[in-house]
Structure 1
Amino acid sequence: MPEWTSPPLSASPSTPFQTREWLALVAILLGVVLSALDTAIANTALPAIAADLQAPPATSVWVINAYQLAVVASLLPFAALGDLWGPRRIFIGGLAFFTAASLLCAFATTLPLLAGARALQGIGAGAVMSVNIALIRQLYPPSRLGRGVGLNALVVGIGFTLGPAVASLVLSVASWPWLFAINVPLGLLAIAFAVPTLQRSPRRGHGFDPATALLTALTFAALILALGAAAQREAWALVLLPLGVALLAGGLLLRRQAGHPAPMLPVDLLRRPMFALSTITAMAAFAAQGLAFVSLPFYFEAVLHRNPVDTGFLMMSWPVIVALAAPFAGRLSDRHPPGLLGGVGLSLLTLGLASLALLPAEPQTWDIVLRMAVCGAGFGFFQSPNLKALMSSAPPERSGGASGVIGMARLLGQTTGAALVALCFGLAGVHGSTVALALGAGFAGLAAAASFARLWAAH
């Protein structure tokens, strides 16, 4: 018996959102903010977690790494399942899994138990992140999609902005397990909103191949491990072994999914010039962001001799401006080419990062904030138009795959940026943060060039 399929939630550009649509949007954005907030919270709380569990700093990093590896490994398989089963099922299942894993994190008493629970949490987050843009595409008609993705970018920016402050506030009155426990009521609230409101989708005809999913997970998890080992200048064996696994698994993956109507690694979408250029733009831009966000705290404290409190406030100026610029850029992308808006924004980001690298030895606070604001404005102007370009250049029945590529491009870019920061410090010592910012400006310039190239690809 065929599954009932609900009508589109927003049928025309002029139809205002009704209560059901608003509740669906709240559910989607709650899921997004949970994953964004949790990442920022865990990074901030890592020293307290390491001290409480009596774990050395090098080992405690697995609290972060386990989550990231699980997200990277699960993102594209869940995106493929979203195309097969419908994004609603994947999103609600991911929320439930993330919420249950958060409870396990709160009760973890050893580092291995916490790292394992964080890996489970990453699987839930991977499911949520793989389909959230696909769900937004169901809510907004094409003429207003820019507004929807702009709102999504706004929520992500708020999550990253509030993460350190929320972590500091909770740790000032309670122990670190409460940082994960607060996810439980929020997750349950998101599920309560999502179940009755998110649009149901019919099952597709093509099947799901577990072997392809395993090869996809191996390819990207091994690639991330190889990047990290290379950046830490580990022994060559520790770099070449995961790199070899990534290349072998990737080759087998491409061979196995050849001819599939909806491949898990969506090489068919990457044959579309607009989609491919938008993906390159995203990866290079997020690599620039990763280089900046990891290196800037060291730059402020080790080079400019600011205290940690000052560093926290200075770091907030970037995501605050992103959060303010993203909805505005989203609305503009409904009327102007994303390649133009993204190119202008990424050119601003290039100038902002270069100006940070060239700061004088004793700059005024307003001078730092101004340059950080330029970076935030540039990044905010790129993000929403690029999201719209990626989703609009994929057919509606491949929304899940396109949404998965968005998440993967962001994760690979950020991970590459963070790995390059470690390499910069290894090669340049105390000046590594300055080198990383200059390298970030280079990646932003590459992203701007790829974005402007879309103006020609569209013709």
Structure 2
Amino acid sequence: MPSSQNTEAASQTTEAEGLPLPRRIWAIIAVSFGTALFMIDGTIANVALPTIADDLGIGEGAVVSVVTLYQLVLVMCLLPFGGLGEQFGLRRVYQAGQAVFALASAATFLVDSFAMLLVVRGFQALGAAMALSVATAMLRFIYPARALGGGLGINSVVAASSAALAPTLGGFLVEHFDWRWVFVAPVPFALLSLAIGRALPHPEMAGGRYDWKGGLWSAATFGALIGGLDIAIHGSVALGVPLAVLGLVSGLFFVRSQGARARPIFPVDLLRRRTIGLATIAGIFAFMASAAMLVLLPFRLQRGMGYSPDEVGLLILPFPLTMLVVSPTAGWLSDRVKSSILGMIGMCFAATGMILLMLVANDAPAWDFAWRLSVTAIGFGLFYSPNSRMIFHSAPMDRTAAASSMIATNRLLGQTMGASLVGIILAAGLGLGAAPLLIAAGLAAAAGLLTLLRYTTD
């Protein structure tokens, strides 16, 4: 690996077309470990919630805060840390995030109260936000431009396989060890990534001063908006709705204030580009659709179709398994075919698959459900990597970190909004009917339509 400043500077001149071999291989491995780390950590805690509630003596409603707090801190911090990555270096912010995460995870062994667990979980999310805000950006400097779509596809495979592994790993740890091990289990991935992190790209940093005021304003705005919605759905409407409205008003003023900046924390400059703006909104709709479907399906399968919890896990498995095959293929194709074409085809598959799932009979055999879910997964797999590649391809090189944090924020925002939508539907008593999947199919269709609108400029 290059060690001197001259070698480092020389390698940076080729980063627009990818890192030289073998450094590129080491960098891919480092990012893959980081991706696996945060995908596992994002979902592994779910299976431990009942055990945590019993051990710490808290209610089932309160223990969900372990998950919602993590998501809230992520969505608050991704954009500010993306700007920090541009200012101080992608590699520095990425490695610092993994170090913060590892230290917070180690502190889990000291947890003896629910309040302390929430503090530790908040620091885990802070470290994850630092790394995730720039993780995808580094792919643009690791891979040659002609292979960026394939690189995004490989990263999607790592993400999908890690997400599929998380529930099984979490269940095993809770069954055989103390629940605190659930939060420590992903740490080896962080340590391995840190150990080989010098291979990661370190492009030239932006000049000027970091907009600390804008970063804090962005975090507060997203915190009020998303936190208010969550409180309104799961807690107090009287408190949540005003908080969400305050976040919305703050957001309008914040976006307006960012418009005149050369490197805005909220990437107004990127969203003004027609292709990026349409792809961003389409991405939010697509993530809302997939999240709404995946949150709903356990209720439909368990309560509507009579399957046990362990059977539900197996029935949903075709979704990540299909994504494992489709995502790298879609990434490879996006280097050769317009992303708008792949996205439109994908959303047609996704909408069709969810309508087919809506029509499946409650007494249908498992295979009849599984193939419909695979059709849906094909659609989302064809959409995600090409859509991300298009955003990167359209963004200037010096705004790659902003594009990366924006993509990560869109994903998390869409997933959070999709889960909240299901919460509203369940509260209305419509969870087992046709409405949820029909709404999710409509969101996928909207994503496809937005993708069609950018066909001529793709």
TM-score bracket, normalised by the shorter chain, equals: over 0.9
Q: Which residue pairs with 2:88 in the alignment?
A: 85
How far, CA to CA, are the matches of 2:12 and 2:106 in structure 1? 35
Encode CA deviations 1:100-146: one digit per residue, 9 max, x unaligned: 11112343111111111111111111111111111000011221110
Q: Which residue pairs with 1:183 in the alignment?
A: 186
Which residues of 2 match residues 49-128 of structure 1 at below 5 A?
49-128=52-131
The yes-or-no answer on 1:407 pairing with 2:411 is no
Offset at residue 292 of structure 1 (A) = 0.8
| Residue 168 of structure 1, aligned match among 168, 171, 174 | 171
Tell me if the contact between 2:288 and 2:417 (Cα under 8 Å) persists in the aligned partners: yes
How far, CA to CA, are the matches of 1:350 and 1:37 in structure 2? 27
Give the fraction of aligned pairs with identical amino acids, expressed as a percent.
33
Tell me if the contact between 2:299 and 2:432 (Cα under 8 Å) persists in the aligned partners: no
Which shows bigger deviation, 259-268 or 420-429?
420-429
Offset at residue 226 of structure 1 (A) = 2.4
Cα distance change, pair 104–304 in 1 and its aligned pair in 2 (3 A): same
Encode CA deviations 1:11-43: one digit per residue, 9 max, x unaligned: 697x89623211111111111111111111011
How far, CA to CA, are the matches of 1:163 and 1:134 in structure 2? 25
Offset at residue 211 of structure 1 (A) = 1.4
Tell me if the contact between 1:146 and 1:333 (Cα under 8 Å) persists in the aligned partners: yes
Q: Which residue pairs with 1:342 in the alignment?
A: 343
Amino acid in the other structure paired with 2:111: A
Q: Which residue pairs with 2:285 in the alignment?
A: 284
Tell me if the contact between 2:351 and 2:441 (Cα under 8 Å) persists in the aligned partners: yes
Tell me if the contact between 2:345 and 2:379 (Cα under 8 Å) persists in the aligned partners: yes
| Residue 218 of structure 1, aligned match among 214, 217, 220 | 220
Amino acid in the other structure paired with 1:208: Y
Q: Which residue pairs with 1:274 in the alignment?
A: 275
| Residue 9 of structure 2, aligned match among 5, 28, 48 | 5
Q: Which residue pairs with 2:252 in the alignment?
A: 251
| Residue 23 of structure 2, aligned match among 8, 20, 23 | 20
Offset at residue 448 of structure 1 (A) = 1.1
| Residue 231 of structure 1, aligned match among 225, 230, 233 | 233
How far, CA to CA, are the matches of 2:90 and 2:116 in structure 1? 30
Q: Which residue pairs with 1:445 in the alignment?
A: 445
How far, CA to CA, are the matches of 2:201 and 2:235 in structure 1? 48
Query: Root-mean-square deviation (CA), in Å?
Result: 1.9
Q: Which residue pairs with 1:435 in the alignment?
A: 435
Q: Which residue pairs with 1:46 in the alignment?
A: 49
Offset at residue 435 of structure 1 (A) = 2.2
Q: Which residue pairs with 1:302 in the alignment?
A: 303
Cα distance change, pair 430–455 in 1 and its aligned pair in 2 (3 A): closer
Encode CA deviations 1:415-442: one digit per residue, 9 max, x unaligned: 110001011011125536x422221111
Tell me if the contact between 2:98 and 2:190 (Cα under 8 Å) persists in the aligned partners: yes
How far, CA to CA, are the matches of 2:293 and 2:431 in structure 1? 15
1:5 match: secondary structure: helix
Q: Which residue pairs with 2:361 in the alignment?
A: 360
Amino acid in the other structure paired with 1:68: Q
Which shows bigger deviation, 30-39 or 98-107?
98-107
Which shows bigger deviation, 92-101 or 172-181?
172-181
How far, CA to CA, are the matches of 1:29 and 1:409 in structure 2? 21
Amino acid in the other structure paired with 1:331: W
Which residues of 2 match residues 191-202 of structure 1 at below 5 A?
191-194=194-197, 196-202=198-204
Offset at residue 296 of structure 1 (A) = 0.5
How far, CA to CA, are the matches of 2:278 and 2:314 in structure 1? 35
Q: Which sections of structure 2, spanning at least 5 residues, go unmatched?
A: none
Cα distance change, pair 17–161 in 1 and its aligned pair in 2 (3 A): farther
Amino acid in the other structure paired with 2:215: A
Q: Could you state the TM-score of these two structures normalised by the residue count of structure 1?
A: 0.94
The yes-or-no answer on 1:424 pairing with 2:425 is yes
Tell me if the contact between 1:338 and 1:389 (Cα under 8 Å) persists in the aligned partners: yes
Cα distance change, pair 77–247 in 1 and its aligned pair in 2 (3 A): same
How far, CA to CA, are the matches of 1:35 and 1:184 in structure 2? 10
How far, CA to CA, are the matches of 2:363 and 2:38 in structure 1? 37
Tell me if the contact between 1:10 and 1:140 (Cα under 8 Å) persists in the aligned partners: no
Q: Which residue pairs with 2:40 in the alignment?
A: 37
How far, CA to CA, are the matches of 1:391 and 1:141 in structure 2? 13
Tell me if the contact between 1:97 and 1:124 (Cα under 8 Å) persists in the aligned partners: yes
Q: Which residue pairs with 2:383 in the alignment?
A: 382
1:428 match: secondary structure: coil
Encode CA deviations 1:238-292: one digit per residue, 9 max, x unaligned: 2332123313432342344331111000011001011011101110000001101
Q: Which sections of structure 1, spanning at least 5 residues, go unmatched?
A: none
How far, CA to CA, are the matches of 1:339 and 1:456 in structure 2? 9
Which shows bigger deviation, 225-234 or 341-350?
225-234
The yes-or-no answer on 1:395 pairing with 2:396 is yes
How far, CA to CA, are the matches of 1:199 and 1:110 in structure 2? 40
1:293 match: secondary structure: helix
Aligned length: 453
2:454 match: secondary structure: helix
Offset at residue 200 of structure 1 (A) = 1.9
Offset at residue 10 of structure 1 (A) = 6.3
How far, CA to CA, are the matches of 1:427 and 1:384 in structure 2? 35
Tell me if the contact between 1:6 and 1:200 (Cα under 8 Å) persists in the aligned partners: no
Offset at residue 47 of structure 1 (A) = 1.4
Tell me if the contact between 1:82 and 1:131 (Cα under 8 Å) persists in the aligned partners: yes
Offset at residue 294 of structure 1 (A) = 0.7
Encode CA deviations 1:183-225: one digit per residue, 9 max, x unaligned: 333211110111x211223331132122111110011111112
How far, CA to CA, are the matches of 1:412 and 1:199 in structure 2? 28
